[in-house]
């Protein structure tokens, strides 16, 4: 391997030849899902819920949710319904936690950091979020609070996500680097949704380089037994006030953070020393991100009508916490055409609703939809072009015999095309590492990412393509819940088999993530417990 393209090739799965991995699960050294910092000052986040809890579908109405001031309770709400716990599950005496955002293997490689001015009840500085206890641990406090404070335009603060690769390599080996990046996409979209219900807007700060993020979060000191890698940086601001942080503000924060002492020592996540997976560390080096200009708004803004709400009456917090991955589908329920169109419509990049403010650039990931059971929809292979300007490039790349026919009843703004009719359940099953979930739902999909454009400005674009795919996955998870059905992300798929099946003629597009949606079969053997029942009666 000597570049990110060769990592991508080496980490492909194929029938009978999976990407290199450990081959077994070493339960003796299972990664601890929570990181904490011994000796860091701990700040409880309130559990009380006195803030308004809008209906989930209110997020589709621009300006429909009043912006909340930045208080500890609002911060608590943001974290609880994005990176926080969603439930504990128990089976035969074994208990494990689930979170509001999904994660490959439920291994949760992501750590979250709040970088903020003083909030009543929380000092200014850099704080690590420990979701198990719903607390912030102070890692760093500015010695010059006034200078620090001046870097944050009113109501604005930062949220950084880092990665502990080992949590994923423990199970998935070489392919983990991709999974870590997909997880970042999911988590950032989860933050964007949770923020929108507080009337806040989240933007991705692609201008910050990895080295600056390491310095800002103190990831290099003290060195953790299992290293944390920079993930991505988000700016969170009250919607519509335009008071976004400047590039100079960011640079000053990094310079200030370098001048003080970081507090606390990271816990060890395993009983034995973690072994890095060399190929994953190499991939991280190939994708190292230097400072880059902020992404400008795409010129290709689709002119689209507002979202049609789904029939759910659940509030935002109810729906977000109820989100789960289906482990089995019933293999027979048929989805209504309206539900199908509503779900696909949510994947179009409407910049003014979550989570699309995260991605101001041109959409580069396009779902190939395998329709199995949708009323009035011919089973077959379809393509949703998330920008119409992507269609010529996709037509040039994909099988020349594809039809590119617009299906009957398709809303005029939805660039959906029938490529090839026919029952494709067997292919869906086979391509998804022979997982039944890909064939037993209403539809499944593979996400074709534009590598030619995405990597043109540097290898770090490989990470960003996976973030975009993870964001699409998070939209689908919540869209499925809003329709009363369920989704599941699929990271295990036979890459080149899918490419061959799509008649891909070059490497300009590659599939990076798969997903499935349908009516789930509940596993009644499991007991479900309240996510924060173990904390007692904290207010
Ligand atoms: C990137 C990614 C890849 C995943 N791949 C698979 C998969 O191949 N098969 C599967 O059954 N579930 C897959 N999942 C679902 C996870 O197993 C699930 O999110 C995790 O067990 C936590 O459960 P929850 O989503 O209900 O919180 C994937 C999830 C993510 C985010």
Say if residue 226 is in the same domain as residue 342.
Answer: no
Of all residues in the chain, what percent carry a pLDDT higher than 90?
Answer: 86
Taking a C-beta distance cutoff of 8 angstroms, is the pair 196, 58 a contact?
no
Sign of CA dihedral 76, 80, 85, 86: positive
Q: How far apart, in Å, are the Cα atoms of 64 and each of 55, 67, 199?
A: 11, 10, 8
CA distance 486 to 517: 6
Same domain, 356 and 465: yes
Dump pLDDT digits (tens) for 118-158. Answer: 999 999 999 999 999 999 999 999 999 999 999 999 889 99
What local confidence, expressed as pLDDT, does residue 354 receive? 94
Domain that holds residue 67: 40-265+280-286
For residue range 211-258, what is the model confidence (pLDDT) as tens digits? 999 999 999 876 778 899 999 999 999 876 555 788 899 999 999 999
Claim to verify: residue 208 and residue 67 sit in the same structural domain: yes
Confidence band of 46 (pLDDT split at 50, 70, 90): very high
With a 6 Å cutoff on the Cβ, whether 335 touches ligand 1 is no
Q: Are 168 and 254 members of one domain?
A: yes
Q: Is the CB of 186 under 6 A from ligand 1?
A: yes
Confirm or reject: Cβ of 183 under 6 Å from ligand 1.
yes
From the CA of 327, give the closest atom in ligand 1. 11
Rounded Cα distance, 393 and 450, in Å: 9
Q: How far is the CA of 421 from the centre of ligand 1 (A)?
A: 29
Task: Produce one character per residue of 406-434: b if its CB has 16 or more CB atoms within 10 Å, e if not.
Answer: ebeebeeebbbbbbbeeebbebbbbbbbe
Residues 6+ apart with CB under 8 A from 183: 101, 103, 104, 108, 109, 110, 163, 168, 470
pTM: 0.98
Average pLDDT of the chain to the nearest whole number: 94
Residue 306 lies in a domain: no
> CA 195, CA 353: separation in Å to the nearest integer?
11
Burial (Cβ within 10 Å: 0-12, 13-18, ≥19) of residue 61: middle
What is the pLDDT at residue 297? 59
Give the confidence band of 296 by pLDDT, cuts at 50, 70, 90.
low
- The set of residues, in sequence order, having a beta carbon less than 8 Å from that of 406 and lying 6+ positions away, is 416, 417, 418
Please provide the DSSP assignment of 403-447 as one string: --BPPTT--TT--EEEEEES--HHHHHHHTTT-THHHHSSEEEEE
Residue pair 373/442 in contact by the 8 Å Cβ criterion? yes
Residue 315, in any domain of the structure? no
Tally of domains in the chain? 2
Q: pLDDT per residue over 408-448, tens digit each?
A: 999 999 999 999 999 999 999 999 999 999 999 999 999 99
Reported as type and span, the H/E element at residue 365 is strand 365-371
User: So what's the pLDDT on residue 37?
Assistant: 96
**Is 18 within a domain?**
no
pLDDT of amino acid 509: 98
In a domain, 473, yes or no: yes
- Of 257, 286, 315, the domain-final residue: 286
111 pLDDT more than 90: yes
Cα–Cα dist 355/176, whole Å:
24
Q: Tell me the residue length of the chain.
A: 539
516 C-beta closer than 6 A to ligand 1? no
**pLDDT number for residue 299:** 57
Confidence of residue 533 (pLDDT cuts 50, 70, 90): very high
Q: How confident is the model at residue 333 (pLDDT cuts 50, 70, 90)?
A: very high
User: In the predicted model, what is the mean pLDDT of residues 394-419?
Assistant: 97
| Pair 252, 331 in one domain | no
Cα distance from N-terminal residue to C-terminal residue, the chain:
52
CA of 149 to the centre of ligand 1 (A): 39
Residue 504 falls inside a structural domain:
yes
Contact criterion met (CB below 8 Å) for 189 and 470: yes
Q: Is residue 305 assigned to a domain?
A: no
pLDDT exceeds 70 at position 330: yes
Same domain for 92 and 205, yes or no, is: yes
Residue nearest to ligand 1 atom 9, measured at CA: 490
**For residue 25, how many C-alpha atoms fall within 13 Å in the half-sphere facing its CB?**
9
**In angstroms, rounded to a whole number, what is the distance separating the alpha carbons of residues 456 and 468?**
16
Ligand 1 pocket check for 106: Cβ under 6 Å? yes
CATH number at residue 59: 3.40.109.10
DSSP state of 92: T
For the Cβ of 488 lying below 6 angstroms from any atom of ligand 1, the answer is yes
Q: Which of 223-232, 328-337, 473-482 has the lowest mean pLDDT?
A: 223-232
Going by C-alpha positions, the residue among 420, 426, 412 that lies closest to residue 503 is 420
Return the residue whose CA atom lies nearest to atom 10 of ligand 1: 490
In short, whether 68's Cβ falls inside 6 Å of ligand 1 is: no
Q: Evaluate: CB of 182 within 6 angstroms of ligand 1.
A: yes
The burial of 539, by beta-carbon neighbours within 10 Å (0-12 exposed, 13-18 middle, 19 or more buried), is given as exposed
Query: In the predicted model, what is the mean pLDDT of residues 321-340?
Result: 98
Q: Are 254 and 151 within 8 A, CB to CB?
A: no
**Candidate from 99, 324, 325 with most ligand 1 atoms within 8 A of CB, to mutate:** 325
Among 399, 430, 333, which Cα is nearest to 372's?
333
Ligand 1 atom with minimal separation from the 432 CA: 8
Q: What is the 3-state secondary structure (H, E, C) of 260-306?
A: CCCCCEECCCCCCCCCCCHHHHHHHHHCCCCCCCCCCCCCCCCCCCC
SS3 at position 178: helix
- H-helix or E-strand spanning residue 165: helix 165-172
Q: Is the CB of 491 under 6 A from ligand 1?
A: yes
Rounded distance, CA 519 to CA 504, Å?
Answer: 31
**Same domain (yes/no): 399, 257:** no
Say yes or no: 349 and 220 in one domain.
no
> Is 194 found in the same domain as 335?
no
145, 221: one domain: yes
What is the 8-class DSSP label of residue 56? G
In a domain, residue 314? The reply is no
Does one domain contain both 235 and 383?
Answer: no
Tell me, in angstroms, the distance from the centre of ligand 1 to residue 38's CA.
31
Average the pLDDT over each of 105-109, 199-203, 510-514 and give the range with the smallest value.
Answer: 199-203
C-beta 199 within 6 A of ligand 1: no
Taking 90 as the threshold, does the pLDDT of residue 38 lie above it?
Answer: yes
**Is 434 close to ligand 1, i.e. is its CB under 6 Å away?**
no
Average pLDDT over every residue of 16-28 = 93
Residue 302 lies in a domain: no
Q: What pLDDT score was predicted for residue 303? A: 78
Same domain, 408 and 260: no
Q: How far is the CA of 492 from the centre of ligand 1 (A)?
A: 10
- Section 311-335 average pLDDT: 97
Ligand 1 contacts CB of residue 489 (under 6 A): yes
Q: Which residues of 153-185 are buried (b: 16+ CB within 10 A; e: fewer)?
A: bebbbbbbbbbbbbbbbbbbbbbbbbbbbbbbb
Q: Ligand 1 atom closest to Cα of 323?
A: 26
């Amino acid at each position: 391997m000597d570049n990110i393209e060769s990592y991508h090739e080496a980490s492909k799965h194929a029938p009978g030849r999976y990407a290199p991995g450990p081959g077994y699960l070493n339960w003796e050294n299972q990664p601890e899902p929570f990181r904490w910092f011994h000796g860091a000052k701990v700040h409880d986040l309130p559990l009380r819920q006195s803030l308004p809890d809008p209906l989930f579908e209110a997020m589709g109405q621009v300006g429909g949710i009043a912006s909340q001031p930045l208080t500890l309770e609002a911060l608590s709400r943001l974290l609880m319904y994005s990176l926080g716990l969603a439930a504990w599950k128990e089976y035969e005496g074994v208990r494990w936690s689930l979170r509001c955002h999904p994660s490959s293997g439920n291994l949760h490689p992501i750590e979250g950091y709040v970088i903020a001015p003083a909030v009543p009840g929380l000092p200014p500085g850099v704080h690590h979020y420990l979701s198990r206890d719903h607390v912030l641990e102070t890692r760093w406090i500015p010695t010059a609070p006034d200078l620090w404070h001046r870097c944050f335009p009113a109501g604005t603060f930062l949220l950084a996500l880092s990665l502990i690769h080992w949590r994923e390599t423990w199970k998935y080996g070489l392919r983990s680097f991709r999974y870590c990046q997909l997880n970042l996409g999911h988590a950032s979209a989860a933050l964007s949704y949770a923020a929108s219900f507080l009337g806040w807007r989240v933007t991705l700060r692609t201008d910050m380089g990895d080295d600056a993020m390491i310095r800002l979060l103190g990831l290099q000191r003290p060195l953790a037994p299992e290293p944390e890698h920079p993930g991505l940086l988000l700016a969170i601001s009250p919607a519509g006030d335009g008071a976004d942080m400047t590039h100079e503000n960011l640079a000053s924060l990094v310079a200030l953070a370098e001048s003080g002492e970081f507090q606390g020592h990271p816990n060890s996540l395993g009983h034995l020393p973690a072994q890095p997976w060399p190929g994953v560390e190499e991939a991280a080096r190939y994708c190292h991100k230097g400072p880059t200009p902020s992404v400008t708004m795409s010129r290709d803004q689709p002119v689209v009508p507002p979202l049609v709400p789904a029939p759910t009456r659940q509030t935002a917090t109810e729906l977000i916490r109820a989100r789960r991955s289906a482990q089995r589908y019933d293999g027979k329920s048929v989805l209504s055409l309206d539900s199908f169109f509503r779900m696909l419509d949510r994947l179009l990049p409407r910049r003014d609703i979550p989570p699309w403010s995260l991605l101001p650039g041109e959409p580069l990931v396009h779902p190939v939809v395998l329709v199995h059971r949708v009323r009035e929809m011919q089973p077959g292979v379809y393509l949703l072009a998330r920008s119409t300007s992507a269609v010529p490039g996709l037509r040039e790349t994909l099988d020349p015999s594809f039809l590119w026919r617009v299906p009957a009843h398709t809303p005029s703004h939805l660039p959906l095309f029938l490529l090839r009719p026919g029952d494709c359940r067997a292919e869906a099953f086979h391509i998804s590492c022979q997982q039944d979930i890909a064939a037993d739902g209403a539809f499944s999909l593979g996400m074709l990412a534009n590598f030619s454009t995405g990597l043109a400005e540097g290898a770090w674009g490989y990470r960003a393509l996976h973030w975009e795919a993870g964001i699409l996955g998070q939209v689908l998870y919540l869209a499925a819940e809003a329709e009363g059905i369920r989704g599941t992300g699929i990271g295990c798929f036979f890459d080149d088999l899918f490419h061959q099946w799509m008649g891909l003629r070059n490497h300009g597009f590659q599939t990076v993530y798969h997903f499935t949606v349908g009516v789930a079969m509940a596993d009644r053997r499991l007991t479900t417990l309240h996510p924060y029942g173990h904390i007692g009666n904290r207010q």
